[in-house]
Structure 1
Amino acid sequence: MRQYSPDLTPPWKKPKPVPEVPAEPGLVVEEPGTGFCGAVIRCEAGTVTLEDRFGKHRVFPMEPRGFLLEGRVVTLVRPSPAGPARPARTASGSVAVPGARARVARAGRIYVEGRHDAELVERVWG
């Protein structure tokens, strides 16, 4: 005996998945409810600000199925951060320079720092 799905909706009536598009600055979208078309200026806590060709700004909520991109319905989402918020660190805690090899401190530098350390210990401990 053949098992039937509990959802008997015909395939042509099922809603199609809506693509999610990051709301990157400069992306031109249209809000179908008002017909306002503009470029994304900023994206904040559940809202997106659009600027039209005349420089007028409007704020819209970022709802599912809320915008048209090139005539297709899309859902705008917050863009992911571009990169790490902090610079990368090495095992010693110094700032890592991309593409540079680790170097040993120069002899003159070791002498100066060592001398200062010795003078400090002398002052503290006598």
Structure 2
Amino acid sequence: MNPESKRILVIDDAATVRMYHRHILETAGYAVDEAMNGIEAMEKALRAPFDLYLVDINMPQQDGYDFLRDLRQRDIRQAPALMVSSEAQDFDRTRAYAAGASFYLVKPARPDELLAYCNVLLGAGGVQ
């Protein structure tokens, strides 16, 4: 798998988190775009499909749960979604999976952990 051919959308209202995730993923060779909330993310997803979505839960205008539910109902090419949130309760994980998340990580995610799960979801190898 060639990482440069894989597009990832990082969706988080915190600019520092977006920059952190972008740095990890671009260093690994992935093409990364960003969105500040679910509405902006959907606009980008409808313009050009992504291979993976990294989604925060708590965002203004449209949260991560609503974004995923909306995305999963659309007649567009679907891609895995990795929910990355500071919410650490089992309830949050259950809601994320019900909304359409493929996996759930609690912030702050270690760089090696984040990259490993992205690689798995993109079919690029296993978690070490």
Query: Does TM, scored on the shorter chain, surpass 0.5?
Result: no
Q: Which has the higher contact order (CA 8 A, sep 6+)?
A: 2
TM-score, normalised to structure 2, is: 0.21
TM-score, normalised to structure 1, is: 0.21
Larger Cα Rg: Structure 1 or Structure 2?
Answer: 1
More helix by share: 2
More strand by share: 1
